[in-house]
Structure 1
Amino acid sequence: MLSYTVYSEAGGVGKTSLAANLAAAHARAGLDVLVVPLDPQDGDLSRLLGVDNDRTDREADNLVRHMVQSGKGALDDLVRTSENVDILPEHNMLSDLQDHLAREQQKAEQLGDSYNIYAQLQRVLAEADIAEAYDVLICDPPATESVHLYNAIYATRNLVLPVEPSAKGQASVDGLEELASNFAEQMGIEVGVLAAVPNGFKRTNDQEELIDTISFPTPEIIPDRTSLMEGCWKQQCSAFEYVRTHRDRRREYEIETLAQFDRLARYLEAQADIEAPNPPEPGALKEDVPA
């Protein structure tokens, strides 16, 4: 299974949009995809893909309940589907995840048991046989150093880094590399960076020089597509669905952006030796493909 966390500690770099569009790109190639968004704030991936209906329902079963072993049913019952992507929707209980896990840790320690506060998402996914049910697992934690992030890293062991092509973005990548390395050493695990994805590229000389300094693979460099991404949030869909359904005419530069998402998905799949069964021509939409 290909598993990775899409993360940047800098806000406004299109982290959640990248996660959603990569998920859609994997799924449209015929792979089974599960996304686990972990952001306690509104304006998250569940909102983007229109599956956040139960977010404020205090009685609803949700991922946090399962992480503290108080789930009300099977994890599968929580899954919602959008554009052939399965999602474990976010819930407001994520805001208190740190406190919930700390209480569970205290209980375990009082009984003389060990408890890894960062391994609870992995445990939940393993108990539900997610690795057998899905080809791709994507986590989308908040853009802060938190228990949400560390559970995502522990569960996936790989990172995809959206990068602002600026000095600030480069500093963010450097800081994240150190953060991930320290966490991996502390937990006794290996954490890899599959790719860095410069986002919002405007072809300036300074941006090109900064991109050249990134030490990780940069298989695709995404131009500034503010209008396209804002449209996706408004219509609650991926860029593929937005261009197919909500654009009155095709814009070639947007089709090329879709192709970039497709090519990036194929690149990431190759890192896990996964071959998608039905990969489309990059950027091609259903009505563009000959019968």
Structure 2
Amino acid sequence: MLAYTVYSEAGGVGKTSLAANLAVAHRRAGLDVLVVPLDPQDGDLSRLLGVDDDRADASADSLVRHMVGSPRGPFEDLIRTVEGIDVIPEHNSLSDLSQHLEREQQKAEDFGDAYNIHAQLRRVLGEAGIPDTYDIVICDPPATEGSHLYNAIYATRNLLLPVEPSAKGQAAVEGLEDLATNFADQLNIDVGVLGAVPIGVKGTRDQEEMLAEIPYEVPAVIGDRTSLMEGCWRQQCSAFEYVRSHRDRRRDYEIETLAQLDRVARFVEEQGGITAPNPPEPGAIDEDELEVTA
């Protein structure tokens, strides 16, 4: 199994869209995929894929309940399936994750027991047999540091970095290097960076110079696709589904974006030693009747 966290310190870079679309790209190639989004804000991956209907239900079971040892049912009952991928929907209880974990840590310490506050997601996934069930696990934490991010990193040990093509994005990459190194040293684990994916690139000279300075492998450079991504959020689906079902004609630049997402997925799989059984032609979609336009 390959597990990785899609993370950027810079908000608004397209982190969640990248995580969701790569999950679908892995699945298109025949891999079993679980997505674990951890963002307490409403504009999250569960919202993007339309599986957030129980988010505000205080009586519903949630990932947080499992992480603090108070589940209301088996872990597998949390899973929702959309576009062939499995998702653990986000719940409002994520807003209080840090406080819940700190209380559990205090209770453990009161009894003289060790408690790793950052290891609870990994524990839950292991106890549920996730490593034996899925080929790919993707975590999508919020951009801010805290229990959500640290549990994701501890669980996955790998990072994929969406990069904003700006000085702000470059600073975020540099900050992440320090964060990952310090976290790995603190918890005595190895944390690797699979690669970086620049998003929203418009081809300016400043952007080209910044891209050349990224210290990680770059499997694809994705241009500004605001209309496509806004359409995905509006229709609550991946870019693959949006082009297939919600575009009345095929746009070459959007098909190329789908191809880039497929190529990034193949790159990530290769980095993790995963061989997809049935990778599609990059960017291929099912509706051949769509008109091709430049």
Range class of TM-score, shorter chain: over 0.9
Q: Does 1:154 align with 2:154?
A: yes
Q: What SS does structure 2 have at the residue aligned with 1:270?
A: helix
Q: What SS does structure 2 have at the residue aligned with 1:196?
A: strand
Mapped partners of 1:274, 1:5: distance in 2: 16
Shift of 1:287: 3.2
Mapped partners of 1:286, 1:76: distance in 2: 30
Q: Does 1:127 align with 2:130?
A: no
Q: What SS does structure 1 have at the residue aligned with 2:5?
A: strand
Mapped partners of 1:92, 1:225: distance in 2: 30
The aligned counterpart of 2:139 is 139
Q: List per-residue Cα deviations over 1:7-39 (Å, max 9, x = no partner).
A: 011111000000000000001111000000000
Q: What SS does structure 1 have at the residue aligned with 2:184?
A: helix
Q: For 1:78-117, what aligned pairs fall within 5 Å after superposition?
A: 78-117=78-117
CA RMSD of aligned residues (A): 0.8
The aligned counterpart of 1:171 is 171
Shift of 1:201: 0.4
Mapped partners of 1:59, 1:84: distance in 2: 27
The aligned counterpart of 1:238 is 238
Q: List per-residue Cα deviations over 1:145-179 (Å, max 9, x = no partner).
A: 11100000000000000000111100000001100
The aligned counterpart of 1:69 is 69
The aligned counterpart of 2:258 is 258
Q: What SS does structure 2 have at the residue aligned with 1:273?
A: coil
Q: For 1:195-274, what aligned pairs fall within 5 Å after superposition?
A: 195-274=195-274
The aligned counterpart of 2:57 is 57
Mapped partners of 2:137, 2:88: distance in 1: 11
The aligned counterpart of 1:15 is 15
The residue type paired with residue 242 of structure 2 is: Y
The aligned counterpart of 1:37 is 37
Shift of 1:286: 2.0
Q: What SS does structure 2 have at the residue aligned with 1:286?
A: coil
TM-score relative to the length of structure 1 = 0.98
Q: State the percentage of identical aligned residues.
A: 73
The residue type paired with residue 121 of structure 2 is: L
Number of corresponding residues: 289
Mapped partners of 1:146, 1:195: distance in 2: 23
The residue type paired with residue 268 of structure 1 is: V
Q: What SS does structure 1 have at the residue aligned with 2:161?
A: strand
The residue type paired with residue 90 of structure 1 is: E
Q: What SS does structure 1 have at the residue aligned with 2:269?
A: helix
Mapped partners of 2:258, 2:157: distance in 1: 27
The residue type paired with residue 239 of structure 1 is: A
Mapped partners of 1:201, 1:278: distance in 2: 30
Shift of 1:288: 4.2
- For structure 1, list consecutive stretches of 5 or more residues without a partner in the other structure: none
TM-score relative to the length of structure 2 = 0.97
The residue type paired with residue 139 of structure 1 is: C
Q: List per-residue Cα deviations over 1:53-79 (Å, max 9, x = no partner).
A: 100000000100000000011110000
- For structure 2, list consecutive stretches of 5 or more residues without a partner in the other structure: 290-294
Mapped partners of 1:46, 1:179: distance in 2: 26
Q: What SS does structure 1 have at the residue aligned with 2:284?
A: coil
Q: Give runs of ≥4 in structure 1 deviating > 3 Å.
A: none
The aligned counterpart of 2:191 is 191
Mapped partners of 2:243, 2:232: distance in 1: 9
Q: Does 1:181 align with 2:181?
A: yes
Shift of 1:112: 0.2
The residue type paired with residue 275 of structure 2 is: E
Shift of 1:272: 1.5
Mapped partners of 2:67, 2:169: distance in 1: 32
